[in-house]
Copies of this chain bind each other. A is one copy, B any other.
Amino acid sequence: MIGVFDSGVGGLSVVKEIAKVLPNYQIIYFGDTARLPYGTKGVDFVKKYSAKITSWLLDRGAKVVVIACHTSSAQAGDFLKEKFKNTPIFDMITPCAKNLSLYKKIGIIGTPGTIKSKAWEKHLLEKNPNLKIHSKPCPLFVSLVEEGWIDNNITKQIAKEYLKDFKNIQALILACTHYPMLEKIIKKTINTEIIDPAKVLVKELEFFLKDSAQIKLKKAKNEFFFSDEPYNLDKISYLCLKQKIKPIINDPF
């Protein structure tokens, strides 16, 4: 069983990629809607709740944990890997960082929390110390996705405004789970490679599972837990999974 968590519904875009590549594994999802968004919270808060959720997923039988939340990956990824040493934990940043060792200049967009943490910079520069990175928070993108304004004129203008400073980059990393839903508009606005970290993560997860006899296939139904009534779940789950999902709502903390 693969445990996946996010601060809200955005992580369903990661579930989408996992289910596409690894359809035979059961997924258990936890969206911490009672405390979302993590992007505007402090580091200690994000660490504390990321650890609580990881424990909860393990208690329910998860053998692998995917941190689908970028803020949590940035602020709590290393902390969780240290704290849960015996559990394979995948975050949104590390797999990407390995793949960018030959790039010279890239861009990163994400929530204010993710960008402010500089965790992407830290991980990327560890692998490639000469990489030039331009990063920028784009908080309106989340609201635009939640409004369902995926392909309208206002969204195009906001994308243009946000992306105007990205000059001569070889790739742009979408460091927020909501942003891949705006990929079409972003691609039209900026002529560069667009990297969705979920896709990179899932490739790494696939390799790991192939080598790991310990984690068995289990064809049970995926389950979706939320700590509070999720906002616009139908819209987002349809955008990500092309279907409505039945949420189980309960705050265990």
Scan A29-50; emit 1 where CB is below 8 A from any B CB, else 0. 0000111100111100100000
Q: Can you add 15 more A-B contacts, CB < 8 Å, to A36-B40, A42-B249?
A: A34-B41, A34-B45, A35-B35, A39-B231, A42-B229, A45-B228, A139-B143, A139-B146, A139-B147, A140-B140, A140-B143, A140-B144, A140-B147, A142-B143, A154-B161
Residues of chain B within 8 A of A157, CB atoms compared: 153-154, 157
For window 153-175 of A, CB contacts with B under 8 Å fall at: 153-154, 157-158, 161
Per assembly, the copies of the chain total 2
Interface range for A: 20 to 34
Scan A46-62; emit 1 where CB is below 8 A from any B CB, else 0. 00000000000000000
CA distance A161 to B154 in the complex (A): 9
Expressed in whole angstroms, the minimum distance between the Cβ of A141 and any Cβ of chain B is 9
Q: Can you sample 30 A-B contacts with CB below 8 Å?
A: A33-B40, A33-B41, A34-B35, A34-B41, A34-B45, A35-B35, A36-B40, A39-B231, A40-B230, A40-B231, A41-B228, A41-B229, A42-B228, A42-B229, A42-B249, A112-B231, A112-B232, A139-B143, A139-B146, A139-B147, A140-B140, A140-B143, A140-B144, A142-B143, A143-B143, A153-B157, A154-B154, A154-B157, A154-B158, A157-B157
Expressed in whole angstroms, the minimum distance between the Cβ of A7 and any Cβ of chain B is 11
Residues of chain B within 8 A of A231, CB atoms compared: 39-40, 112
Residues of chain B within 8 A of A33, CB atoms compared: 40-41
Residues of chain B within 8 A of A112, CB atoms compared: 231-232
Which of A's residues lie within 8 Å of B, judged by CB? 33-36, 39-42, 45, 112, 139-140, 142-144, 146-147, 153-154, 157-158, 161, 228-232, 249
Residues of chain B within 8 A of A154, CB atoms compared: 154, 157-158, 161
Residues of chain B within 8 A of A232, CB atoms compared: 112
Expressed in whole angstroms, the minimum distance between the Cβ of A230 and any Cβ of chain B is 8
Expressed in whole angstroms, the minimum distance between the Cβ of A114 and any Cβ of chain B is 13
Expressed in whole angstroms, the minimum distance between the Cβ of A137 and any Cβ of chain B is 9
Residues of chain B within 8 A of A39, CB atoms compared: 231
CA distance A147 to B140 in the complex (A): 8
